[in-house]
Structure 1
């Protein structure tokens, strides 16, 4: 019957008898079931590649540098109209909140381990998430640690696991306890990292931590990106390319070794007299040998310019491996291109290989920026914003920051917590052209000066104007002349173009 049976399928991709697909086996598991079986192995392999593979390390570091960079900075932006606050008062509150948060964020006392400030924690959290799939942060309160009381403790993905002997089920799997809707209600963490320096049994003991405190603010911040519905744990960003990258690493090592052997230019002497032929041995001094082995089966070590005498009857069939391989670069570049594209960036950006035309390089940068923006948006929502909200909540409790109705009105608390997170300034490939284009956008009122300053320098317009005012006062005090005026870029609008066209028609 057509459409049914072993051979009659509606889609060729579902066929089980074609040569291309008959060995194509797939998993039918849910997101949690598939992850439960493979997540730990993927995380360990991804971590090893990040540590040892040049491409994998460059890929993760490129994402970190372009998403977090030197740190994402807080810019409070409260809806003052809805809050019934005057604009001037709102701007004053935003400036105060920003300054106080920077005081907390720039100190290493915000870290439970006192090793990193908040911006360094951002970088570590993002890299950990990209490599192993997810990262956890505990929000702890200790007024003795810093004036604000809030401290952050980062935990690797390995530490979130079920209590010893507890198998995965619908409500507890991979260390995360959920309710009937799939929302996290608690997390189970080991007391120490697995395979720690301490007693191994401590890594089997877990502690249950509620997901939220009594006011609804997070005790545990879980950063990961879900690829499927009902997914409670993350997977490494390089999981789809682990096989390719590992094979490329092996191939690169083999090519490198072959090139080294080829560069030794070793000479082998053959003897026709069995009575005079020596035993095969290396001319590398014994104290310089790497293997340290002796005897007839010991490897023959070589060095540049080696002269090795062969025993009678021995011949070397191939002493020149014809390396370096001229086809090496095009081949590995194709692997790098596919691997980088799978993650969402251009391989030119990962390898810092900008040898093509201006338009091609700009297209590569802009295409990669889409991925940076998406990762940044998710990371801000998962990590930065919850921490700021917890900081603001604790600052209100301690009286450091004054916010009306913050504790009694959840909606107002959410509006007072509104903010932007600003990263490093954008890389200008052609500073003159791009700055002129930005000036035209400001003149045409398509962009504010605040947005322009943030885009170019990563700073704030308020701080720039304050510094300009201070510089002006300093020049006046010291009798210095004003610097030369900057010519304003002429704005080109639709009306201007039409008027010029009409004028040309009249001249004709």
Structure 2
């Protein structure tokens, strides 16, 4: 009762915040729903998922958003580089640690570059990264299950990706605080187990989502995740993900309808040239013109019907009924305001996702500074998405592979299973992705040289920024090339000296032409 009274006071008495006022005309019809993160998703998640898939399949800008994310986040693949710290705890010398990291990296690359790491034998690990991210962006979340097959020597490990609609409650089980949307959680909200259908819903052989489910514990006895759940929660206590397209579904669908209407209007306008009055009723039919019978889609009955379809052809002149005046066609399509209006929609939609619409559309026709700013702002979103993918998918995959490699005796890691601290140290690694897009390689490489000269960055960082490579690999390659040139009696192409510090001109000459 007290709560009801307080709500009445809040509704009719509080006016400190205009956004909470019920007296302002613009706010009276603004009814915000009450619900926890799980409650809101329980009602709407399936509809959001299906509509997001439809937009990804058929809407150009929505697909461009997903393509831009996967291309810039995963690119050609996110690569692991083992990195050991606190060598005294692990009982290793520096040289032993370097050799262990090199061996582990080589073995992981052999496994990850083979399609044997995929249960379906369709992708290598980089392909799985791309597919996992794409599924998460479109569906809201993606799941990965580890499978073990003795035939896949020497590691016997592979992964199966599952779409979001494979995770659901068992038949007859309603949503509750403990189990909802296929995820069982503890009192603190941590996942305890997941329920997955044994077959995809609405498959070729099964026209339903009423399927038998299997329970999979969230973690194994070592505390490693049995189920890799790739998603990005927006609220606390949220156990399932939402498509990245969810906030722009209405905008994108309306833009699609607007595009179709404008396109159809432009097509019809291009086919109408002029109408001519005719007093001779024996001439060709109105609207149908002189189009041959075999090109006419409508039947004779449909042609004579007042509601029958009209068949148009490009550049046609149509003869009208007696008594009607000639009228020329003033084409108003394509709509000159279309581009500006649609770009405003795209800009709003992209910014709501943390992207610049220039990056999504690959449209770089403004000044250098403006385009570079758009790229750098979008890069922040790409970096965050990459960090989440590494945390949810890449790192757990590497840790599971390393565990399996140690169990099979391929890699030696003393204390890995006995000591949690050593286990965490053996799992240490860093991740390398493709380098960022260099809009003006000359300017940006000069800036990197200046940072090197001032000792603000390492050469390894500079190498990753310019071409996504590693400095030690570059040194090895240069040493091999130098050896080959010496063997063939070739002169060195030039001395590689530390570049002199210089300043970059801030005079943007002809910048508007970029």
- Same structural fold, with TM-score higher than 0.5 when normalized by the shorter chain: yes
1-side partners of 2:15 and 2:9: how far apart? 5
1:246-290 deviation per Cα after TM superposition (whole angstroms, max 9, x unaligned): 1111111111111112222333233457x6576534244444345
2-side partners of 1:402 and 1:444: how far apart? 41
Residue pairs, 1:246-395, within 5 angstroms: 246-271=253-278, 279-283=285-289, 284-289=291-296, 294-296=303-305, 297-312=307-322, 319-395=329-405
Partner of 1:500: none
1:143 maps onto 2:153 in alignment: no
2-side partners of 1:366 and 1:276: how far apart? 69
Secondary structure at the residue paired with 1:40? helix
Partner of 1:41: 47
2-side partners of 1:364 and 1:200: how far apart? 45
Secondary structure at the residue paired with 2:56? helix
1-side partners of 2:432 and 2:124: how far apart? 17
Q: CA separation of 1:268/1:211 partners in 2, compared to 1, >3 Å: closer, same or farther?
A: same
Contact 1:80 1:90 in 2 (8 A): no
| 1:58 maps to which of 57, 64, 68 | 64
List runs of 5+ in structure 2 lacking aligned partners.
1-7, 504-514
Contact 2:178 2:185 in 1 (8 A): yes
1:124 maps onto 2:134 in alignment: no
Partner of 2:3: none
2-side partners of 1:70 and 1:203: how far apart? 38
1:165-204 deviation per Cα after TM superposition (whole angstroms, max 9, x unaligned): 2110011000001111111111111111111001336851
1:489 maps onto 2:499 in alignment: yes
* Worse-superposed segment, 232-241 or 255-264: 255-264
Contact 1:195 1:203 in 2 (8 A): no
Contact 1:46 1:239 in 2 (8 A): yes
Contact 1:7 1:17 in 2 (8 A): no
| 1:85 maps to which of 89, 92, 97 | 92
Q: CA separation of 1:298/1:83 partners in 2, compared to 1, >3 Å: closer, same or farther?
A: same
Q: CA separation of 1:245/1:200 partners in 2, compared to 1, >3 Å: closer, same or farther?
A: closer
Partner of 2:482: 472
* Worse-superposed segment, 80-89 or 287-296: 287-296
1:208 maps onto 2:215 in alignment: yes
| 1:475 Cα deviation from its structure 2 partner | 1.0
Contact 2:166 2:197 in 1 (8 A): yes
The number of residues matched between the two structures is 491
Contact 1:139 1:218 in 2 (8 A): no
Secondary structure at the residue paired with 1:29? coil
1:433 maps onto 2:447 in alignment: no
List runs of 5+ in structure 1 lacking aligned partners.
494-508
1:442 maps onto 2:449 in alignment: no
TM-score by length of 2: 0.91
2-side partners of 1:216 and 1:252: how far apart? 52
Partner of 1:502: none
TM-score by length of 1: 0.92
2-side partners of 1:316 and 1:147: how far apart? 83
Partner of 1:76: 82
Contact 1:109 1:146 in 2 (8 A): no
2-side partners of 1:407 and 1:371: how far apart? 37
1-side partners of 2:222 and 2:37: how far apart? 31
